[in-house]
Structure 1
Amino acid sequence: MEKRKIGLTTKVLIALGVGLVTGILVYNLPAGTLKDTILINGLFQFLGQVFLRGIMMLVVPLVFVSLVNGAANMGDVKKLGRVGSKTIVFYMSTTAVAIIISLVLGVFFKPGVGLDMGAIQTVDVTINQKIPLVQVLYEMIPNNVVGAMASGNMLQIIVFALFTGIGLSLLGEKGQYLASFFQKLNDLIMKLVEIVMLFAPIGVFGLIAKTFATLGYTALLPLMKYVGLVYLALLIQATVVYGSLFKVFANLSLRKFYKKFSPAMFVAFSTASSGATIPFSLDICEKKLGISKDISSFTIPLGATINMDGTAMMQGIASLFIAQAYGIEMTLPMMLTIVLTATLASIGTAGVPGAGAIMLSMVLQSVGLPLEGLGLIMGIDRLVDMGRTSINVTGDAVCTSIIAKSENAMDLEVFNS
């Protein structure tokens, strides 16, 4: 009888579990060379960073090339505009819904009421100056394309890639040679992604082991209500909101979607980076969900930059948590301001670990809550960051599936296989 191969999903899940247990065991070791130098900052750091840097090495060329192909292959600028408007409306709507759900849960469960502030180890945080929305919008256009790519400015890369793709499309036959070159370049990058994915279980083990070996579980105890509420909100978004959208707009099986998309969710959980998960999401969308490259290569990179459902949920709960911890009454106008600010703040926030804290500082400033409150939750933010990033990338794939179905750009045989 032929031995059944273990799939990537299973390997990553096993690595995640083993890394978690290993990390907690190492956390309980006495401080010293073995724990701090050899394991945490040696082996775990090396395995995690080699994998993470391998992915990040491919993100900028992958986003640029896939978006150029996506825009060029649509052939019709009207179609690009139609898909683009659907995508942005979907992303902004689900982000707003996510914040509203989180605020309702925060008001109902009151995570910050009765908190022993002395039990929490606060962390000093440096808050960047708030950038006006107008500046965010005009800075989407790069004044130096090479500089944008060197610094990994995703919004600027996306704008230039779409501009290039539209130009190729308008060139028609004259641009066929260049369009063919971009297709071959895309094939090469996806092959490199496949190679990096082989190391995913090892990288996931290193990243998770280092996280829990550093934080342990004791840091969680005084903030358990806050962390638990964030994960409850994320679960509601993943099942109720996405499930309803899948049923109403696509009439597809959410269970089947999650079964196939779960490897990307596990990578997002371990890396806490939407940007690092782009290669995995694109690969799964095309090969397992049956989504046309033209659609996924447009919506997935864009979503990793502007769609932050999970992060938005954390912001709503964190804002109420901080207000309640400091005994500040949260009024309805303040909550509406949080919904608007967090939705707009999601545009242009980098898909990297810890970016949610920058967004949260903007939200707190908008309603006059003390920025010192950030220090209460930053110590365990990595644990929350992993969960919210998983929902961020899941929202991108849900949107991509629905839009692909509406544009007849989805192979249902592949999805249902």
Structure 2
Amino acid sequence: MDTVFIIINIAIMLIFIGILFAMQKKYVSFSKRVFAGLGLGILLGAFLQIVYSADSEVVSATTDWYNIVGRGYVRFLMMIVIPLVMVSIIQSIINLEKSSELGKMSAWIIGILVTTAMVAAMVGIASASIFNLNADQIEMGQAEEERGLALEERLGSLEGMTTPQKILEFIPSNIFLDMTGERATSVIAVVIFSIIIGIAVLG
């Protein structure tokens, strides 16, 4: 019987996706489709919460199927971010008409990346302080414990660095490693590499 309910839930999701495809066929603007998808997602989530109990096996199994679309979409975005950053920066530098604009543009790109990272960190710290957020009541599984250990290891390695060493971390030594996003400064390293490639092409 649970299988029938799971199939029904999946069918509802496919209908909602079909609505979004139909909106695209009618050339509805991207922003309207995004908000429509957000609204349909909220309705679908509310439906699952109202019809089934929170610890229902149907909800758990349904969520696994929904993750193919949700997490799959996020993984596709993560897949193209770094290559897109690299290609767009190299293309922009190649299209420069005046070499004097290169230094200004490079400084702007790196400055914006560093500034947004600082803003994100400050917002996170402020939110945790204001709302007294902590992880004491979170039930940790194996995946959470492994992630926590990895973050603590990374934090320890950064805390032991001097300021010049932290700046040195921005410079890529293995661009293929940075393209995987393995390091905390991978995106900035890719930007620096892209700028160097662009300068080489101009030269």
Normalised by the length of structure 2, the TM-score is 0.59
Q: 1:58 aligns with which of 80, 88, 91?
A: 80
CA distance in structure 2 between the aligned counterparts of 1:149 and 1:22, rounded to whole angstroms: 36
**Structure 1: how far apart are the matches of 2:130 and 2:72?**
37
- Name the structure 2 match of 1:167: 200
Partner of 1:156: 189
Equivalent residue for 2:64, pick from 19, 34, 41: 41
Q: How many residues align?
A: 156
Matched-pair identity in % = 20
Give the equivalent residue in structure 2 for 1:23: 45
TM-score by length of 1: 0.32
Partner AA of 1:135 in structure 2: Q
Contact 1:75 1:169 (8 Å CA) reproduced: no
- 1:41–1:135 CA distance, 2 compared to 1 (3 A): farther
**Of 45-54 and 11-20, the range deviating more from structure 2:** 45-54
| Deviation for aligned residue 1:94 | 7.6
* Gap change, CA 1:86 and 1:56, over 3 Å in 2: closer
Is the 2:113–2:188 contact (alpha carbons within 8 Å) kept by the matching residues of 1?
Answer: no
Question: What is the Cα deviation at residue 165 of structure 1?
Answer: 0.4
Computed over aligned residues only, the root mean square deviation of the Cα atoms, in angstroms, reads: 3.7
State the partner residue of 1:141: 171
Distance 1:15 1:7 in 2: 12
Separation in 1, partners of 2:72, 2:90: 28
Q: 1:255-300: per-residue Cα shift (whole Å, max 9, x none)?
A: xxxxxxxxxxxxxxxxxxxxxxxxxxxxxxxxxxxxxxxxxxxxxx
The equivalent of 1:376 in structure 2 is none
The amino acid of 1:140's aligned partner reads F
Structure 1's 16 and 73: CA in aligned 2 closer, same or farther, altered over 3 A? same
1:76 and 1:169 in contact (8 A); partners too:
no
Contact 2:106–2:195 at 8 Å: present in 1 too? Answer: no
Query: Map of 1:3-402 to 2, 5 A cutoff?
Result: 5-28=27-50, 29-30=52-53, 31-37=55-61, 39-42=62-65, 44-88=66-110, 111-112=130-131, 122-123=137-138, 126=148, 127-128=151-152, 129-130=155-156, 131=158, 132=161, 133-151=163-181, 153-170=186-203
Cα 1:51/1:159, change in 2 over 3 Å: same
Provide the residue aligned with 2:5 in structure 1: none
Give the Å deviation of 1:34. 1.4
Change (3 A) 1:14 1:154: same
